[in-house]
Amino acid sequence: MSFQRSRSYPQFTEEHEALRRTVRHWAKTELHPNGEAWEQARLFPREIFKRAAELGLLGIRVPEAYGGLGLDWWYTVCYAEEMAHSGLAGLTMALLVQSDMATPVIAEIGDEYHKRNFLMPAVRGEAIAALGVTEPDAGSDVAGIRTVARRDGDDYVIDGAKTYITNGTRADFITLAVRTGGKGFGGISLILFPTDTKGFRVAKKLEKLGNHSSDTAELSFEGCRVPARNLLGEENMGFAYIMQNFQGERLIGALSCLAGAQRALDATLQYCTDRKAFGRSLTGFQTVRHELVQLEAELEAARQLTYRAVHLVIANDDMAIREITMSKLIAGELACKVADRCLQLHGGMGYMHEAEISRAWRDARLITIGGGTSEIMREILSKLAGF
């Protein structure tokens, strides 16, 4: 038994589906079998970045001149959705940070030096990238960051700290948000920061509730001197760049978590079909099958909302901010709901560490926090509505 969902969405051509098949095969055959080992190790091999690059996944929308594929957002959708078959939300997040959070801003506003020395090595999987925004005292409140970059001749000297940084323990460079001006959003800039810079250190590798296969770190910057040419875009314009970059991050997060929730629901349907209680399968009980189809309907509705946001991004429509914010909010909350209800339907087995649904439950919890909390999404929508 399976849900009969349509894959004939009109936006996906045969070329899109070819990439989808490639990613699914890789996720199922090369990544998923190693899942538990990498979860236990709290890290996956660095070579996975190189393998992802060989498949073209680290530069899907990057122009061919800089090593990418130069394709459209629908290819990114296929990539994000099919990575769910790895069963490793942490690994998926680490790759998506590389391809869709830390590097798009370089492709968009970087100069030739930035693209040759940072973007291209990341697209080739030779350099690992991280996005450095969150600080101990500044999470969703980006305007409150305190890490300072002081201009000194041809350099910036950086002091401060970042926390909850994905890829942080082994990043080769960080797309780093720093304060170059006064208080508030008007004094923030973006700097490409090589992690071999003197004065930089990984202060702590953080232990998380879920997403165990990826590394997350607290970082320290003490008198770190980097060339002024590493400044991305204009000085003190970083807040605008970060807010724009957040749109892609939130959209990719919505796509990814919905795909993970769909995988969890599909597995639960199979479990409920096979599992017998009181002489019949669990799907023989009306309350069970009604819950399953209700979750399927809600996932399809959320998927359509998210696809609408992708359409608007491709059309360069200003409404995309509203649709992306809605997608992040709805997808995040729904992913948590689906994981929780699927675990419940697994009964005692769902509570066991060995059950993949328990991993899905742990991993799903992040999406309502990372990239802007659900509360922040509601506040953004309130302001867009004129409240």
Does the annotation count 249 as an active-site position?
Answer: yes
Q: What is the pLDDT of residue 329?
A: 98
Residue 31: inside a domain: yes
Sign of the C-alpha dihedral, residues 334, 381, 61, 66?
Answer: negative
Residue 173, H or E segment: strand 173-179
The verdict on 248 and 369 lying in the same domain is yes
Contact 284, 311 (CB under 8 A): no
The verdict on 137 and 248 lying in the same domain is no
The verdict on 256 and 276 lying in the same domain is yes
Of 207, 236, 265, the position where a domain reaches its end is 236
The verdict on 374 and 251 lying in the same domain is yes
Q: Which two tokens stand for residue 36?
A: 């538990």
The verdict on 112 and 199 lying in the same domain is no
Task: Phi first, then psi: give them for residue 36, nearest 5 degrees.
Answer: -65, -35
The CATH number that applies at residue 26 is 1.10.540.10
Residue 9: inside a domain: no
Task: Give, in degrees to the nearest 5, the angle at Cα 84 between 361 and 5.
Answer: 100
Residue 22 belongs to what domain range?
14-123
**pLDDT averaged over 10-residue windows placed end to end, the chain, 387 residues:** 68 95 97 96 97 98 97 97 97 98 97 98 98 88 91 97 97 97 90 98 97 97 98 96 94 97 97 94 96 97 97 90 97 98 96 94 96 95 95
User: Which DSSP symbol is given to 85?
Assistant: G
SS3 category, 62? coil
- Residue ranges with strand state E in the chain: 129-132, 148-152, 155-166, 173-179, 188-194, 200-205, 216-227, 231-232, 276-277, 280-281
Residue 21: inside a domain: yes
Of 81, 106, 123, the position where a domain reaches its end is 123
The CATH number that applies at residue 200 is 2.40.110.10
Closest CA to 135 of 162, 110, 109: 162
The verdict on 97 and 189 lying in the same domain is no
Residue 6: inside a domain: no
The verdict on 177 and 247 lying in the same domain is no
Question: What is the distance between the alpha carbons of residues 277 and 255, in angstroms, rounded to a whole number?
Answer: 35
Question: What is the distance between the alpha carbons of residues 291 and 377, in angstroms, rounded to a whole number?
Answer: 27
Give, to the nearest 10 degrees, the angle between helix 238-274 and helix 73-82: 40
The verdict on 195 and 300 lying in the same domain is no
Contact 127, 173 (CB under 8 A): yes
The verdict on 138 and 252 lying in the same domain is no
The CATH number that applies at residue 360 is 1.20.140.10
Instruction: Count how many domains the chain has.
Output: 3
Residue 144: inside a domain: yes
User: Which DSSP symbol is given to 295?
Assistant: H
Q: What is the pLDDT of residue 369?
A: 95
Q: What is the pLDDT of residue 184?
A: 82
The verdict on 322 and 364 lying in the same domain is yes
Q: What is the pLDDT of residue 308?
A: 96
Residue 207 region, left (φ>0) first, then alpha (ψ -120 to 50), else beta? Answer: beta
Residue 178: inside a domain: yes
The verdict on 245 and 374 lying in the same domain is yes
Of the listed 39, 81, 218, 249, which one is catalytic?
249
Residue 61: inside a domain: yes
Residue 317: inside a domain: yes
At 56-87, the pLDDT tens digits run 999 999 999 999 999 999 999 999 999 999 99
Of 187, 214, 236, the position where a domain reaches its end is 236
Closest CA to 332 of 384, 297, 369: 369
The verdict on 118 and 145 lying in the same domain is no
Closest CA to 171 of 238, 98, 65, 110: 98
